Structure 1
């Protein structure tokens, strides 16, 4: 949810920077409560996609799968 808020409020920022800001916000929200450096800390993954004019911008970190289908469906390739 925080990533979406950054993407919407800062449309000119690259998605990687939006993710960086969202991660920093989450880290700050848990400062003093969680040891984010501990290997057993909670983790997550994210995929971000947005359209800009005639381009598709996407952010797919490692170990995450993203499938893009043509507009006509699977059989239209």
Structure 2
């Protein structure tokens, strides 16, 4: 039963990672930033019990500055 629980947990984690990629991609698009390589890191699936991580990939200097500006603005709004 423990193996089935681990497998079920892994599936949930992988689904959450996929959802996080979509959410992050949408949020970044909202501030005019596109990270073309944004994805779930395939190597993070290589464990016996996968623990997905996101690979943010390539980010231009302009994209980084837009992210910084958005984060600073969000910090001021708090």
TM-score, scaled to structure 2: 0.31
Higher helix share: 2
Higher strand share: 1
Which structure has more relative contact order (CA 8 Å, sep 6+)? It is 2
TM-score, scaled to structure 1: 0.31
